[in-house]
Amino acid sequence: MQTPSHSRTRHGRRARRSGRYSISFLTLMVCAAALMLWAAAARLSVLINDNQTADAPDSVASTDQKDTVLQSPSVDSTPPLATPLIPEPVETESGEDEEPATEPGQTVPMQAAELPWNLTLVNWEHPLPEDYSAPELVQLRNNQAIDARAYPDLQNMMDAARAEGLSPLICSSFRTYEDQEQLYQDQVELELRRGYQEGEAEEQAAFWVARPGTSEHEMGLAVDIVDTNYQILDQRQENTAVQRWLMEHCWEYGFILRYPTDKSAITHIGYEPWHYRYVGKESAKAIIESGLCLEEYLGGLGIGNGSTEKGTGNER
C-alpha cells in the first residue's frame, strides 16, 4: 500500500513531464508560424518586383549604363518594323477610322520648307519669312545684282543672245524689301490718280507690282530684261527681237517666263513679257514642255534639286 507521500511524488513527476511536453509543442507551433510568415513575405516581395518590372518601359536605360544598354523587351524579343509597310488607319474623335492621307507608294507632295533654293515659291499666298535675309549676290553692271548661284547661267544666256546680234538689257533684278515697298506704293498712288478707291487701288497695284515681301526680286532670282531698242515695260515688249529669242531659249539656261499671258488667274500677276525667273535647267525644261506656270508645276510634283556654281563673266 502506497503512502500519501509516494502518491504525491508520482503526481509531481507526471505534471513536470506534461509541462515539458506542452512547452515543446508550443515552441514547434511558434516556429512553424514564423516559417509560414517568412515564406509569405518572400512570396509578396517576388510579386512586387515582378509588377515593377512589368510596368517599366522597354526603352528605359539602367542607372549605371544609361547611354549604352537598354532593357530587353519583357514579352517579345523580335524587333518591330521601323516603318509600317501600309499606313495604319487614324482614329478620329468620333471613334471611326479614317483612311491614311496617302496610299501605299504614293508620292507625298513636297512642303514649301523642303523646296530647293531655286524652286522657292514666293507669291501672294507664300510671302517671304520675316527673318529672311538676302543670299550671296553677284553685282552686275548698272547697279543690278543676282543670286550668285544663278549668275553663271544668266551670264551664259546674255552672252548667247548677244552672239545672235541682239541687245538685251537687265533693267531690274534684286530688290530689298524697302525697294519693293516703294515701287508698290508708287503704283498705288498711280491707281488712286486713275480714280480707284483706296482698297481697289491697292488690289489693282498688286496685280502689276507685288506687295513687299511677296516679290521674287527680293530673292535675287528674278530679272527684268528688255530690248535696248525698246525699253518700255508694256505688252509690246513681247514683239521685240530680244524677247522673241528669250522666250524660245531661256529654258536652256534655267530661266522661265514667270508670268505668261494666260496664267494671271493663277499667279495673280499681270502678263509681264520681260520678267524671267531662275528655276534651274531641269525644272525650266519641264515647265516649258508642260505649259505650266511655276505654281502649277510645284503642285505635288516630284522636284529635283539642281544648283549652279558661281562663275565669272562680263555681265558685272
Name the residues annotated as catalytic: 272
Rounded Cα distance, 38 and 219, in Å: 80
Provide the 3-class DSSP secondary structure of residue 124.
coil
Checking DSSP bridges between strand 222-227 and strand 168-172, what pairing results, if any?
antiparallel
As given in the structure block, the three cell numbers for residue 1 are 500500500
| Cβ-based burial of 257 (10 A; exposed 0-12, middle 13-18, buried ≥19) | buried
Expressed in angstroms, the distance from the first to the final Cα of the chain is: 150
CA nearest to 215, candidates 150, 132, 128: 128
As given in the structure block, the three cell numbers for residue 260 are 505668261
CB-CB neighbours of 128 under 10 Å? 17
E runs forming strands in the chain? 90-91, 97-98, 137-139, 145-147, 168-172, 222-227, 255-257, 275-278
CA nearest to 269, candidates 261, 278, 280: 261
Rounded Cα distance, 99 and 79, in Å: 26
